[in-house]
Structure 1
């Protein structure tokens, strides 16, 4: 739930219509692979327990729980995200921050970012509720700025 690997998003070129270059950089931190390996071994152990003998069936991916090399290769070939990326437009005041605490892009007037990308780190859970909270806060900030003429 808390990967240490970090990817990147960069501009392909100066054309705003060009898709960005996205490198998720999955499993680049050794701790992430270690955790995935332990989780896969636990899953295989549970599925191979006698409690599943009557319903188990044939393994779709026959894996040897004692062969770390094989398991790591399987993880590298099949693991992916659950599509809750965060942090590409981090909120904060440090040099890596893209938006301030009012969700305004540093150095760009009248532009805000209102989604999970402002979260500096991923939460342990679905990002839906926090994004709703961010949107509610953003709507209050936008209304407030219109009232004050900013």
Structure 2
């Protein structure tokens, strides 16, 4: 998934007053106002790869638009999540039989997982198609032209900025930007014994916060 932030470049626009919007929403039984509206929409798209594979009626890109109300530095802004729904890349799990036979029980010693993201290069092509679609919708359609939305490109790493702007090569660089970063820790939902039956975002953030605390405790106790 790649997250894109768009800024609304319209000087006359202001977000609704938060307290007023909250009061309208709390007005029972007829909840109304800004907070009573849907703030997240999603759709599925079909990439050129899916069409060439004879799967033109089976979406392989999920795109979600989420507006960002009450954000002072980006009033009227929105973010887009571009998700690869049907990857062809296949990971692997290597089981350490020597450790197992020796009586080892620690998960980290019993095996090693390698997700092999983008080991099939066409997966990256599909994500880039989704990114270009999101940009086209926000910057090139009549529905959003009044807000003069523009992609905030400040998240693009310096290592990728020398490439042609918004080219496939630049987006490939962005999608692979964590490679080469030393001492990088990755925390994700795979650590959960049982995955929550709702969105995993908040519990994963809680797990990551715990991981940060443990890392600081071990390597930088003076920062606690």
TM normalised by structure 2 equals 0.31
- Higher strand proportion, which one? 2
TM normalised by structure 1 equals 0.44
